[in-house]
Structure 1
């Protein structure tokens, strides 16, 4: 799922339902076209994350809410104590179902699993319920196994974790986000806070939401024992969340946008 689709899903989870035109009006302010937004809604509906109770109106489904909760809960892993156990997902999906296999692998990666071997994925955190939901959704029963345990041989060291999850690339991405915050976003946010215009504040809130969503889906949020000593993810992530919270607080209570941020 793209980060913009996730923020759309998040907005929809805050209200009973929304019309396609409402999405278009909000996201056109962010530079997205009507066609892009309507196609994104169609993809979310096709994937079962939203439903359409009437023409051009949408509401989030139970699967959509579960997805949001799973992805948005990932950063909290940084505060958890790891019990040294691993979740292992093994799959054997035939080539005739390659599309399902690719979708399942993509879901595993977004949850934070890393590829240990071909068709074997591991995570230090428990996402078994979320994985089971994906198995049911994609009708892969009997083709996926989920195990939990510890490594007796070939344990995962920080160096090995860096390779499995490509932590060097994620570290670079966080550094880029830090530069972007200081050089681009912070000045725009300062201007918006000074002006106090709800739409301008909400646009920046959405922009930060998309940036956060992208990191939520990219970062596996590994325990400290597996992270490099110079890992900047926690610090940068906290800064991004604080910026979003500042923008949310600045939007007046009686604004049209308030239900989407409270």
Structure 2
């Protein structure tokens, strides 16, 4: 799932129902075209994360809420204690089901599992609810086997984890986002906060809301690539957790600054 689609799903989880035109108006101000947003909504519906109770009206499904909960819980893993248990997912699809297999693979990687061997995905964290939802979503029960337990031989080291989860690339993206945040985003946020007295009320709320969406989209991108492994599996110089906290603190400051009686408050409070 793209970070913009996840963000639209998040907005639907706050508002319950939205017209497609509402989302188009919000995202057109950020440079996204109406066809792009409509295509994103169509993909969300195809994946059963949203429904259309009436023409051009979208509402989040229970599967959508489960997905949002699982992604939003992910940062908590950085402070969770690991018991040394591994969770292994084995895929065995016939070649005729290649498309379904590839879609499930993509979802497993975004959830936080890493590719151990061909057809074998592993995680130190118990994604039980997420795996159950993904297996149901892709109707893949007959092709998936899930194990939980400890490794008796061949323990995964930090060096191996770095390759399994492409941690060097994850760290590179984090540093790229940190530089963007400090050099480009923070000056925009400071300017917006300083202009409160000279900006019309709704225009001020909209400006902050757009900043919220911009930073939120960046954080969502990191959620989708970071497996948020326990310290035992991470390199000694792992800075990504601190960078994520830095960006999240910035997002919280925007949430606090959006007036509670603004029309945009319902999406963030």
Scaled to the shorter chain, the TM-score interval is: over 0.9
- Asked if residue 227 in structure 1 is aligned to residue 223 in structure 2, the reply is no
Aligned to 2:249: 242
- Asked if residue 112 in structure 1 is aligned to residue 112 in structure 2, the reply is yes
**In the aligned structure 2, how far is the partner of 1:18 from the partner of 1:187?**
32
| C-alpha displacement of 1:151 | 1.2
Is the contact made by 1:128 and 1:146 (CA closer than 8 Å) also made in structure 2?
A: no
Aligned to 1:211: 218
Aligned to 2:141: 141
| C-alpha displacement of 1:152 | 1.5
Q: C-alpha deviations, 1:198-246, integer Å up to 9, x for none?
A: 1111001001110111111100000000111111111100011011111
Report the count of equivalent residues: 262
Aligned to 1:18: 18
Residue aligned with 2:125, SS: coil
Is the contact made by 1:90 and 1:119 (CA closer than 8 Å) also made in structure 2?
A: yes
**In the aligned structure 2, how far is the partner of 1:133 from the partner of 1:178?**
33
Normalised TM-score (structure 1) = 0.99
| C-alpha displacement of 1:150 | 1.2
Q: C-alpha deviations, 1:61-87, integer Å up to 9, x for none?
A: 000000011111111000100000000
| C-alpha displacement of 1:135 | 1.0
Normalised TM-score (structure 2) = 0.96
**In the aligned structure 2, how far is the partner of 1:88 from the partner of 1:123?**
7
**In the aligned structure 2, how far is the partner of 1:134 from the partner of 1:240?**
29
**In the aligned structure 1, how far is the partner of 2:48 from the partner of 2:186?**
36
Q: 1:261 aligns with which of 252, 262, 268?
A: 268
**In the aligned structure 2, how far is the partner of 1:78 from the partner of 1:229?**
14
Q: 2:259 aligns with which of 244, 252, 257?
A: 252
Regions of 4+ moved over 3 Å: none
Gaps of 5+ in 2: 197-203
Q: C-alpha deviations, 1:134-186, integer Å up to 9, x for none?
A: 11121111210000111112110000000100101111111111111110111
**In the aligned structure 2, how far is the partner of 1:232 from the partner of 1:189?**
24
Gaps of 5+ in 1: none
Residue aligned with 2:142, SS: coil
| C-alpha displacement of 1:27 | 0.4
Residue aligned with 1:14, SS: helix
